[in-house]
Amino acid sequence: MKDSVKEKSIAQDSRLLLEKARADGVETVWDRFAAQLPNCGYCEMGLSCRICVMGPCRIDPFGEGPQRGVCGADADIIVARNLGRMIAAGAASHSDHGRDLVETLAEVAEGRAEGYGIADEAKLRSFAGEYGIDTNDKDALAVAAELAEALQEDYGTRKKALTLLARAPEKRREIWKKLGIAPRGIDRETSEMMHRTHMGVDNDWQSILLHAMRNALSDGWGGSLIASEVSDILCGTPTPTPTTANAGVLKKDQVNIVVHGHNPVVSEMILLACQSPEMIALAREKGADGINLAGVCCTGNELQMRHGIPMAGNHLSTELVLTTGAVEMMIVDYQCIMPSLGQVAACYHTKMISTSDKARFPGMEHREFHPDNARKIAGELVREAVENFSRRGEVYLPVAPVTATTGFSVEAVVQALGGTPEPLLDAIKKGAIRGAAGVVGCNNPRIKQDHGHVTLMRRLIENDILVVDTGCAAVASAKAGFKTAEAAAMAGDGLKAVCQALKIPPVLHMGSCVDNVRILTLASALANALGTDISDLPIAGAAPEWYSEKAAAIGLYFVASGVYTVLGPMPPITGSANVARLLTQGLNDAVGATFAVEPDPEKAALLIRRHIEDKRRNLGLDAKAV
> Least Å distance between CB 49 and ligand SF4?
3
Letters for 407-426 (x = contact with ligand SF4 by CB under 6 A, - = none) are --------------------
Q: What are the phi and psi torsion angles at 205 (to 5°)?
A: -60, -35
- 298 is an interface residue for ligand BF8 by CB under 6 A: yes
DSSP, residue by residue, 289-320: S-EEEEEEHHHHHHHHHHH---EEE-GGGTTG
> Least Å distance between CB 381 and ligand SF4?
44
CA distance 442 to 552: 11
Residues 190-209 within binding reach of ligand BF8 (CB under 6 A)? none
Classify residue 614 by burial, with Cβ atoms within 10 Å: 0-12, 13-18, 19+: middle
Q: Which helix or strand (DSSP H or E) is residue 331 part of?
A: strand 329-332
DSSP, residue by residue, 559-581: HHTT--EEESSPPTTTT-HHHHH
Whether 423 and 352 have beta carbons less than 8 Å apart is answered as no
- 315 is an interface residue for ligand BF8 by CB under 6 A: yes
Please pick, from the candidates 230, 442, 465, 504, the single residue that binds ligand BF8 as defined by CB under 6 A: 442
Could you tell me which of 305, 360, 371 has the C-alpha nearest to residue 333?
Answer: 360
- 15 is an interface residue for ligand BF8 by CB under 6 A: no
What angle do the packed helices 205-218 and 75-109 form, to 10 degrees?
A: 20
The entry of ligand BF8, ligand SF4, none near residue 69 (CB within 5 to 8 angstroms by kind) is ligand SF4
Which CB sits closer to ligand SF4, 199 or 346?
A: 199
CA distance 326 to 340: 18
CA distance 311 to 303: 9
Which CB sits closer to ligand BF8, 169 or 300?
A: 300
Which CB sits closer to ligand SF4, 141 or 199?
A: 199
- 441 is an interface residue for ligand BF8 by CB under 6 A: yes
The entry of ligand BF8, ligand SF4, none near residue 442 (CB within 5 to 8 angstroms by kind) is ligand BF8
Letters for 42-81 (x = contact with ligand SF4 by CB under 6 A, - = none) are -------xxxx-xxxx-----------xxx-x----x---
Whether 614 and 112 have beta carbons less than 8 Å apart is answered as no
Whether 546 and 567 have beta carbons less than 8 Å apart is answered as yes
> Least Å distance between CB 516 and ligand BF8?
9
- Longest Cα–Cα distance of the chain, Å, equals 72
The entry of ligand SF4, ligand BF8, none near residue 593 (CB within 5 to 8 angstroms by kind) is none
> Least Å distance between CB 72 and ligand SF4?
7
Could you tell me which of 404, 388, 379, 383 has the C-alpha nearest to residue 243?
Answer: 404
Letters for 481-520 (x = contact with ligand BF8 by CB under 6 A, - = none) are -------------------------------xx-------
- 336 is an interface residue for ligand BF8 by CB under 6 A: yes
CA distance 552 to 90: 7
> Least Å distance between CB 473 and ligand BF8?
7
The entry of ligand SF4, ligand BF8, none near residue 52 (CB within 5 to 8 angstroms by kind) is ligand SF4
Which CB sits closer to ligand SF4, 59 or 440?
A: 59
The site that binds ligand BF8 (CB under 6 A) totals a number of residues, namely 15
CA distance 371 to 432: 47
Letters for 187-216 (x = contact with ligand SF4 by CB under 6 A, - = none) are ------------x-----------------
Which CB sits closer to ligand SF4, 57 or 270?
A: 57
Strands 57-58 and 48-49: antiparallel
- 471 is an interface residue for ligand BF8 by CB under 6 A: yes
Sheet containing strand 539-543, edge to edge, reads 507-511, 465-470, 435-439, 539-543, 565-567, 595-597
Q: What are the phi and psi torsion angles at 555 (to 5°)?
A: -55, -45
Q: How many CB atoms lie within 10 A of CB 418?
A: 11
CA distance 234 to 307: 13
The entry of ligand BF8, ligand SF4, none near residue 472 (CB within 5 to 8 angstroms by kind) is ligand BF8
The site that binds ligand SF4 (CB under 6 A) totals a number of residues, namely 14
The entry of ligand SF4, ligand BF8, none near residue 336 (CB within 5 to 8 angstroms by kind) is ligand BF8
> Least Å distance between CB 553 and ligand SF4?
22
- 551 is an interface residue for ligand BF8 by CB under 6 A: yes
> Least Å distance between CB 579 and ligand BF8?
23
Chain length of the chain: 626
Whether 290 and 283 have beta carbons less than 8 Å apart is answered as yes
The entry of ligand SF4, ligand BF8, none near residue 57 (CB within 5 to 8 angstroms by kind) is ligand SF4
| Cis, peptide link before residue 398, omega less than 30° from 0 | no
Q: Which helix or strand (DSSP H or E) is residue 344 part of?
A: helix 341-345
- Residue 447 sits at the vertex; the CA angle it makes with 598 and 433, to the nearest 5 degrees, is 50
The entry of ligand BF8, ligand SF4, none near residue 425 (CB within 5 to 8 angstroms by kind) is none
Residues 316-335 within binding reach of ligand BF8 (CB under 6 A)? 335
- List residues near ligand SF4 by CB under 6 A: 49-52, 54-57, 69-71, 73, 78, 199
- List residues near ligand BF8 by CB under 6 A: 262, 297-298, 315, 335-336, 441-442, 471-472, 512-513, 548, 550-551
